[in-house]
Structure 1
């Protein structure tokens, strides 16, 4: 059965996340590839988000990830589409911005990536969350979505659900 993603629900989840981060006095940053800044955008849709979002990187190509500090050997060894690359992205952005939470996300949305055709499988997404307690990596397979925005929102929801259930269980509405 195909999982349904509802934009209004996803936006409500990110509003709750942002308000919770403000309340907890926690900061967050992202390094996004597949979502191209959608996670940071969802966070900044809530008033007061400047207190929690330290900054964000959109690193759409491999070179951009490497320029920001993702080790080239991680990408070479595991491919750009891997839990290891997502973990490196999350750790690099968290350290770069001195944030409490770093989120890294990479993957292939609706089509094969011509720059990485051998590693690119549509619908496969990797993301990681880095905190001072460590880094957790995740893998999800998405069913085809109606458009590019819905792919990005679907990934955003998967990240929110991981934050709510596994990183901060019991703290966020699920």
Structure 2
């Protein structure tokens, strides 16, 4: 396991964070990478893989209007995925992603390699959500791998922002 992943896992444990993932583009790779590590049951609650719009709507509560207005590959959809995953689980932090792994461009001409992420944190009865869009290079699996690593690596930064904003 790389040093970066070790520090993120230690951070999850030290801050009593229980994680849920809502993955589309990475298709469960985030949860799989985390579950590869011993003790993952202490900070990994569950994972949703919702590729289709129907699954996003039915399982995570993403609004059809959001998909229609912003596209499947949008921060707005990723944000609703993260919030829905928190509501559907006992977790207090969620990572969500939706994007285009390729090989071709996505609907609306969105370039292959584009992934929209969201991180949602349950804090004192409320939810704070952060989102970003990134473009990764490589083939389909390289894009998915890079996206999963990026999503995991940003947990502590966004959690620190949420805690700081609360003070």
Q: Report the equivalent of 1:130.
A: 120
Q: Distance in 1 between matches of 2:157 and 2:119?
A: 13
Secondary structure at the residue paired with 2:96?
A: strand
The structural deviation recorded for 1:153 is 1.6
> Equivalent of 1:40, from 10, 25, 31?
31
Q: Report the equivalent of 2:101.
A: 109
Which aligned segments of 4 or more residues in structure 1 are displaced greater than 4 angstroms? Answer: none
1:78 aligns with 2:70: yes
Contact kept? 2:114, 2:135, Cα under 8 Å? yes
Q: Could you list the runs of 5+ residues in structure 2 that have no partner in the other structure?
A: 162-167
Q: Report the equivalent of 2:20.
A: 29
Q: Which range moves more in the overlay, 83-92 or 16-25? A: 16-25
Q: Distance in 1 between matches of 2:46 and 2:111?
A: 29
Q: Could you list the runs of 5+ residues in structure 1 that have no partner in the other structure?
A: 1-7, 170-174
Contact kept? 1:79, 1:119, Cα under 8 Å? no
Contact kept? 1:83, 1:138, Cα under 8 Å? yes
Superposition RMSD on alpha carbons, in Å? 1.9
Q: Distance in 1 between matches of 2:112 and 2:140?
A: 12
What's the TM-score, normalizing by structure 2?
0.84
Q: Distance in 2 between matches of 1:119 and 1:91?
A: 27
The structural deviation recorded for 1:38 is 0.5
Secondary structure at the residue paired with 2:119?
A: strand
The structural deviation recorded for 1:67 is 1.1
Secondary structure at the residue paired with 1:168?
A: helix
The structural deviation recorded for 1:70 is 1.2
Secondary structure at the residue paired with 2:38?
A: coil
The structural deviation recorded for 1:47 is 0.9
Q: Report the equivalent of 1:88.
A: 80
What's the TM-score, normalizing by structure 1?
0.81
Contact kept? 2:103, 2:140, Cα under 8 Å? no
Contact kept? 2:120, 2:129, Cα under 8 Å? yes
